[in-house]
Copies of this chain bind each other. A is one copy, B any other.
Amino acid sequence: MSRVSNFCRTHVLIQIMPQYNLNKLSTRAPKDFEKETTKSETEKIVDELNELQNLLYAEGKHSILVVLQGLDASGKDGVVRKIFGRMNPQGVDVVSFKVPTEEEASHDFLWRIHKNTPPKGRIMIFNRSQYEDILVTRVHGWCDDKLAEKRMECINDFEKLLIEHNNTHILKFYLHVSAEEQQERLNERTTDPTKMWKYNKRDFTEAKLRDKYYAMYEDCFKNCNKPEWIIVPADQNWYKEHLIAKALRDSLVSLNMQYPVLP
């Protein structure tokens, strides 16, 4: 999408590579980024975002869909809290896609997704998304390559529908966390009383499947790349938040929105 390409031309911070080789992509901030300066910049961007979200709501012409993907403990929940937590909840919604319910499973895989797409004027955050149907399912062999290919085609058609027929601007973020940082965060869930509620034994076994997940993610980046995925180094929360806030701000600014005048 031209929106994303524009973003890339002017903001080289985010790594969008022609080939998405996750093993070669850094999970950390470049050396010239200083934590405290970056954090205070992010603060300013978050304030801007709140204004922009109000404008989006007031104008009511566009909608924003933010897709958050990443391995367990890559920090998806943190993004929701830190970037969107101060926005007006009247215009922002989050939906977390977990194991499909019985009702969801009795429909096609995009049914529950489509139902939750944002109306004009609003921001919707997908904490996990339609992509799980070609990620966790492939890693565990519940979806073979042939079916995955068909599903990816459906996902592309579906995103095109949203973009072309509802002015939806889709931002797809992959939070790229290293094995070491992931392990540390998972361990914290066994020791930190404020994090124990997130503990899930399964996360530890899933973490061992990193290589398989990488292969499936790379295939997904290659085949579902309109709009392009934004790979976010996610070992340091302050850097991850900075990049996402910036991407979102630039995307909203590019819409050239206007407050409606009196009729």
Contact = CB atoms under 8 A, between A and B. Distances in A.
Contact of A111 (B107, B109, B117, B150): B117
Contacts of A160: 154
A115 to B, nearest CB: 5
Contact of A106 (B106, B111, B120): B120
A64 B156 CA distance: 25
Interface string A111-122: 100110101110
Contact of A108 (B108, B111, B151, B166): B166
A144 to B, nearest CB: 14
Interface in A116-158: 117, 119-121, 150-151, 154, 157-158
Contacts of A110: 114, 161, 165
Contacts of A106: 60, 119-121
B161 A108 contact: yes
Contacts of A60: 106
A149 to B, nearest CB: 12
A103 B103 CA distance: 23
Interface of A: 60, 103, 106-111, 114-115, 117, 119-121, 150-151, 154, 157-158, 160-162, 164-166, 168
